[in-house]
Amino acid sequence: MKVTLVFFLFTIMAGCASVSMAPQKESTEAKEFSYPDEGKAGIYVFRKDSPFGAALKKDIWINGDCIGESASGVFFYHQVEGEQEHNIATESEFSPNIMTLFTEAGKN
């Protein structure tokens, strides 16, 4: 009985943490860390693979646009205009988390 209950709970928690993923080709290209397009800067957002909060999914926002829903061990790559500030945000159980970042054109 205990094994069945543990398996059931683990299955539910693992299912809660799944998010839509980019095709393998896009993921591989993003991991090459190529230079961004001219005048642009590349922003990588990575969520550490951790057992704490792993079942919780969080939306990732850049300048008010949702770029995706994170899960443990997931990353995002997004190009933005270079030479200006950008807001990166996500929500938490307590409050929104916002970070302002100045990007340099031609860099990730």
pLDDT the model gives residue 89: 97
Predicted pLDDT of residue 99? 96
Cβ-contact 100, 67 below 8 angstroms: no
Q: pLDDT grade, residue 101 (50/70/90)?
A: very high
The C-alpha torsion from 78 through 76 and 26 to 68, rounded to 10°, is: -90
Is the separation of the CB atoms in 103 and 80 below 8 Å?
Answer: yes
Segment 25-82, tens digit of pLDDT: 877 877 888 999 999 999 999 988 877 777 788 899 999 999 999 888 889 999 999 9
Global pTM value: 0.71
> 1 pLDDT exceeds 90?
no
